[in-house]
Amino acid sequence: MSPARPPGAHRLATYFHVHLVSDSTGETLNAMAKAVVARFDGVIPIEHIYALVRSSKQLDRVLEEVAAAPGVVLHTLVDRELREQLEEGCRRLDMPQIGALDPLVGALSRYLGAALSTRVGAQHALDHEYFNRIAALDYAMAHDDGQGTAEQLESADVVLCGVSRTSKTPTCIYLAHRGIRAANVPLVPGQEDGERLVALRNPLVVGLTVSPDRLVQIRKNRLDGLNANRASNYVDHDAVREETVKARRAFERRGWPVIDVTRRSVEETAAAIVNLLSERRTHRLGTSW
């Protein structure tokens, strides 16, 4: 019987090898693996990523790596022969292999009654959606940190407004990767108060806010990274509290939706904005009938 762990002692992390085999870029598989592993406490994967695996010879090398570092094999292979080669190789090695997209693809196929595409990398085709994402990224960069006139901002899908260090820029970049044209305008004490955004008709204006304590911490870390002097209102608790309160009041006065990013990741903030855009679109469609 193993001795009881002393109170307060931390359980040692469990490491394991995970082999991610993709015939495309591997982005989908990597994201899925991270999402699943995050559900387990104290588990740390050692990732082996094999992208653009499209030949039997390449797959032989993958199986050699699996044999050298036994672990779980996840794949998104489309080609039937390559799948069979991988499945047979894993059986010989007595290693579990999982077609990561198989359950969802199978369910959709049954529901739609449609045949499956065997085209490799179909999700990365140079189609309208792809070029739309590139255009959205260009737009986000060109309209970052208050750049652009009010007329130019009219072509945005969403404009984010908030005080300094409320994750406006990374959120815009993340939204751009989903094809959403996002701009951001900072609220600078004594200068910009978002007034030029009031007259906007097309874009959704969203206010981003954060707790003063968290904002001071973020700003101090920013200054430390720049080796800058901390002696300013930029990190003064009272000044920061006044700045955030003034921003929130401005948002509420103008009827803009507000998202508190204090405990949100960029992905969560972006998801909340996508929901707001969807609700707005649904409302407009409803009132157009």
Per-residue model confidence as pLDDT tens digits over 154-175: 999 999 999 999 999 999 999 9
Q: How confident is the model at residue 2 (pLDDT cuts 50, 70, 90)?
A: very low
**18 - beta bridge partners?**
47, 72
Count how many Cα atoms sit within 13 Å of the Cα of residue 242 in the half-sphere of its side chain: 10
pLDDT higher than threshold 70 for residue 11 = no
Mean pLDDT confidence for 250-254? 94
Closest Cα to residue 185, out of 171, 170, 169, 201?
A: 169
Do 209 and 249 contact (CB within 8 A), yes or no?
A: no
Angle, CA 179 vertex, CA 156 and CA 195 arms, to 5°: 20
What CA–CA distance (Å, rounded) separates 172 from 180?
8
Known binding positions for ADP = 162-169
Q: What's the chain's length in residues?
A: 289
**Most confidently modeled of 32-41, 81-90, 216-225?**
81-90
Do 197 and 151 contact (CB within 8 A), yes or no?
A: no
In the prediction, which pLDDT does 127 show?
A: 62
Kindly report which listed range (12-16, 119-123, 265-269) carries the lowest average pLDDT score.
119-123
Q: Which two tokens stand for residue 100?
A: 């990561």
What CA–CA distance (Å, rounded) separates 137 from 172?
8
What CA–CA distance (Å, rounded) separates 13 from 43?
6
pLDDT higher than threshold 50 for residue 1 = no
Phi, psi of 98 (to 5 degrees): -135, 125
Buried b / exposed e along 28-40 (16+ C-beta atoms within 10 A): bbbeebeeeeeee
Q: How confident is the model at residue 116 (pLDDT cuts 50, 70, 90)?
A: low
Instruction: Give residue-wise pLDDT tens across range 98-109.
Output: 999 888 888 888
What CA–CA distance (Å, rounded) separates 108 from 221?
47
What CA–CA distance (Å, rounded) separates 243 from 251?
13
Instruction: Give residue-wise pLDDT tens across range 32-79.
Output: 999 999 999 889 999 999 999 999 999 999 999 999 999 999 999 999
Known binding positions = 162-169
DSSP annotation string for 113-172:
T-PPP--TTGGG--SHHHHHHHHHHHHHHHT-TT-S-HHHHTT-SEEEEEETTSSHHHHH
Edge-to-edge strands of the sheet including 182-187? 182-187, 158-163, 204-209, 258-260
Other Cβ atoms closer than 10 A to 251: 22
Exposed, middle or buried: residue 131 (CB in 10 Å: 0-12, 13-18, 19+)? Answer: exposed
